[in-house]
Amino acid sequence: MQPARPKQGRIGQKSALWSTAPGWRKLVIGSGVLTSLAVSTPILLPRPETAPNTPAASHAFGAPTQSELTQQNCRSQIPDAPDHLTARVTHFVPSEEALAITRMVEAQLGAKISPAYLPLGRASIQPLPGGSPTIAAIPANVIVNIGDLVEVSTRYRDGSLPCHFFPWTINRVIDHKLN
C-alpha cells in the first residue's frame, strides 16, 4: 500500500508567478518595506509641540513669531542702549585679530555682531579714567589717529535683529593728538 498522496491543487502547486517573475517578488518585498516605513514614520517626525511655528499658524492663534521666539531665547545680558564714554586710541587692530576677538565676544555673549559692523576697521581704546582696554569699530566717516581722544558708544542690543548687538563704536574725535 502506498501512502495517500495529497491531491495537487492550488495549495500544493508551486506558484509559477513567484518563481518566474522577479518583478513580482520585488513588488511584494518593496511593499512590505514601504508599509513598515509608513508605520514607523510618525515616530521619526517631530511632535507638533516641538515643530517650529509657521507664520500662518502663529498669527492665527496669537502665538509669538519666530523672531519673537528667537529674541526670547536670546539670553545675553546686553543693554538696550549704549553708554557714551571718553577714550584714548592706543593702536589699530589688524582685521584677523579683530575678527578673532569678535568671535570670542560673540561666544561669550551668546549673540552675534550686527552684520554692518563686521567689515569695519578696529582700534584698541583705553576708556578714561582708568577703564579696561577694549576694541572699538571705526565708522567710515570717522578718521582717527593713535593718541586721539574720542567719544565711544559701549556695546548694546540691536533691536532690529534678534540676538545681535552693536559693538563698541567710535562716534567722533574729541581732541586730536598733538604732535
Q: What is the pLDDT of residue 1?
A: 57
Lookup: cell for 40: 514607523
Query: Structurally, how many domains does the chain consist of?
Result: 1
In a domain? residue 3: no
In a domain? residue 154: yes
Lookup: cell for 110: 551668546
Q: If pLDDT is split at 50, 70 and 90, which confidence band does 176 have?
A: confident
Q: What is the pLDDT of residues 95-142, one digit of tens each?
A: 999 999 999 999 988 899 999 999 999 999 999 888 899 999 999 999
Q: Are 126 and 106 in contact (CB under 8 A)?
A: no
Q: Decide: helix, strand or coil at residue 151.
A: strand
Q: If pLDDT is split at 50, 70 and 90, which confidence band does 78 have?
A: confident
Query: What integer best gives the mean pLDDT of the chain?
Result: 75
CATH label of the domain that carries residue 164? 2.40.50
Residue percentage of the chain with pLDDT more than 90: 43
Q: Is the pLDDT of residue 65 over 80?
A: no
Q: Decide: helix, strand or coil at residue 18.
A: helix
**Rounded Cα distance, 131 and 124, in Å:** 12
Which of 2-6, 13-17, 37-41, 117-121 shows the lowest per-residue confidence on average (mean pLDDT)?
Answer: 37-41
In a domain? residue 20: no
Q: What is the pLDDT of residue 129?
A: 87
In a domain? residue 111: yes
Q: What is the pLDDT of residue 131?
A: 86
Q: Decide: helix, strand or coil at residue 6.
A: coil
Q: What is the pLDDT of residue 56?
A: 43
Residue 136: domain span: 78-175
Q: Is the pLDDT of residue 152 over 60?
A: yes
Q: Is the pLDDT of residue 172 over 90?
A: yes
**Rounded Cα distance, 119 and 56, in Å:** 36
In a domain? residue 45: no
In a domain? residue 47: no
Q: Does the model's pTM come out above 0.85?
A: no
Q: What is the pLDDT of residues 83-93, one digit of tens each?
A: 999 999 999 99
C-alpha torsion 48→53→57→61, nearest 10: 90
Cis check for the bond before 79: say yes or no (omega within 30 of 0): no
DSSP 94-139: -HHHHHHHHHHHHHHHTSEE-GGGTTSEEEEEEEETTPPPEEEEE-
In a domain? residue 152: yes
Rg over CA atoms, the chain:
34
Q: If pLDDT is split at 50, 70 and 90, which confidence band does 19 have?
A: low
